[in-house]
Structure 1
């Protein structure tokens, strides 16, 4: 529409005399035939046609120096990817064989190079951080700060890193550095979670255990949207930076942050001491930074598409739904009836029942 108005504007049709301010008809340039804009077929839908976002660009070499043109993107058309989509028929047996081999190799290398006190560096690393301060709260925050700096720093360097060494190689580098640091932080928390100053003790309150358990269970549905692509995590498939739009993303654009906050609040309420608070503060701050950094990286990678999705989603859970920016489909529940969510349910229940094994394994490391 803007291009049509500009092409018929009197300042475009006539050369205006600076002295007399009147048009000279003999100087009217020949008009070019008007070309019909090539709109996306999705705009033929009557509902979508009323919700269009126009992105302005500058067309060079126009008769008035520059002219704004419009590139329409329907606000309600799907621009992102379908979260948790999984087609069993599209899977290759060889890919999952590679995944199993890679996973086994990574766990073996992690044990030899980091976990095993006789060969790995994990014990020396944790001891060096612990020696800075005798306070478990300070050590917890330092471990969190180191992990967060490395993890978010490497994530921010993803684009130039992938160009330099390739996507798969960068994923191996990213995981190879982040995984040992994350494990050290988790093990230290398990071993020292009751070492701090006790601020409250309400574990005997009726219903509290069930509340903490349910909160932790729900948090895992928010925490791991990226692990739906396990083959990419293991670099079997080429890793991609995804722009998710459906499923849990309709509730919040940053489910990992929301899940981490839920988990931290539940465990801090249950444990009730200063170590739990320090761990929760570190984790929440790290994920709040991830909200800003994640949006920044997606904006760089996807540009207009991300800006549209950003407008119809929210960071705060359910905010976009409540203010009408996000309309849930009538069959929204089907976006959760998928194999990845079944896997998360099984793994979450397994992790709960494996708590004694996890704790005994952590105690054996003496970190």
Structure 2
């Protein structure tokens, strides 16, 4: 395994093997919530930096086996892949800007409201994570290299498992409030709306959605330059 593979494995491991399991609760009990969050964030940033450096080294070596093609995506998959990648980034950015289950104190502030789910939370209670998963799925339709399957597939699966983990932790903190929230929302995007448990309210998404679309459009227009900058 090269640095890219080790860094990716470590990044996925701490998010799935620690944050999404009972090990997180034991660490929080031992050192406290905020020290845990600080150390977890530092570890994530360090692994992310290692991942970027490893990616650069791996892509510069044409003989690295991770650059080999596992499959050759047909041309007709490109536009669906672009569309999913665009929607994924827009949803993820909108989710970052919207108070949700990953925000500290969400249960005490938002779940007590008459309508606990508003804005993009009507679409999914985990917009950032599902945005990352959709973004990863879009790239899997376009990229067939070994490293791409590992990177985009791993991040997409990590996001989906992360959403389920947040559901479990939210219910453990306050089962009644969380169940009330879950009754009008869904993990999978648009499921609650399709089932009649909620409605789509684009006006509530407002400026957050516009920023998400703008950021996604900017990334698509500068994608080539960003990749070249990463490679240098």
Please say whether Structure 1 and Structure 2 have the same fold, judged by a TM-score greater than 0.5. yes
User: C-alpha distance in 2, partners of 1:254/1:229?
Assistant: 10
Give the CA deviation at 1:273: 3.3
Question: Bigger relative contact order, structure 1 or 2, given CA contacts below 8 A and separation 6+?
Answer: 2
The gaps in structure 2 that reach 5 residues or longer are 61-65, 111-116
Q: Structure 1's 222 and 162: CA in aligned 2 closer, same or farther, altered over 3 A? A: farther
Q: Give the equivalent residue in structure 1 for 2:106.
A: 242
User: C-alpha distance in 2, partners of 1:301/1:176?
Assistant: 25
1:180 and 2:46 are equivalent in the alignment = yes
Give the CA deviation at 1:210: 4.0
Give the CA deviation at 1:363: 1.9
Q: Structure 1's 155 and 174: CA in aligned 2 closer, same or farther, altered over 3 A? A: farther
Larger % of helix: which?
A: 2
1:272 and 2:144 are equivalent in the alignment = yes
1:144 and 2:8 are equivalent in the alignment = yes
User: C-alpha distance in 1, partners of 2:151/2:41?
Assistant: 22
Any residues of structure 2 matched to 1:1-80 within 5 Å, and which?
none
Give the CA deviation at 1:347: 2.5
Q: Give the equivalent residue in structure 2 for 1:161.
A: 28
Q: Secondary structure at the match of 2:167?
A: helix
> Cα deviation per residue 1:285-338 (whole Å; 9 max; x = unaligned)?
322321221111111223211012112222222222222222x16xx1111212
User: C-alpha distance in 1, partners of 2:214/2:25?
Assistant: 32
User: C-alpha distance in 2, partners of 1:285/1:213?
Assistant: 19
Q: Give the equivalent residue in structure 1 for 2:80.
A: 211
Of residues 200, 221, 229, the one that matches 2:72 is 200
Q: Secondary structure at the match of 1:282?
A: helix
**1:215/1:262 contact within 8 Å kept:** yes
1:356 and 2:224 are equivalent in the alignment = yes
C-alpha RMSD of the superposition: 3.4
The gaps in structure 1 that reach 5 residues or longer are 1-128, 132-138, 234-238
> Cα deviation per residue 1:263-290 (whole Å; 9 max; x = unaligned)?
2222111123333222233223322321
**1:192/1:275 contact within 8 Å kept:** no
TM-score when normalising by structure 1: 0.49
Any residues of structure 2 matched to 1:207-356 within 5 Å, and which?
208-224=77-93, 227-228=96-97, 240-243=104-107, 245-326=117-198, 328=199, 332-338=201-207, 340-356=208-224
Aligned residues, how many? 213
User: C-alpha distance in 2, partners of 1:166/1:289?
Assistant: 21
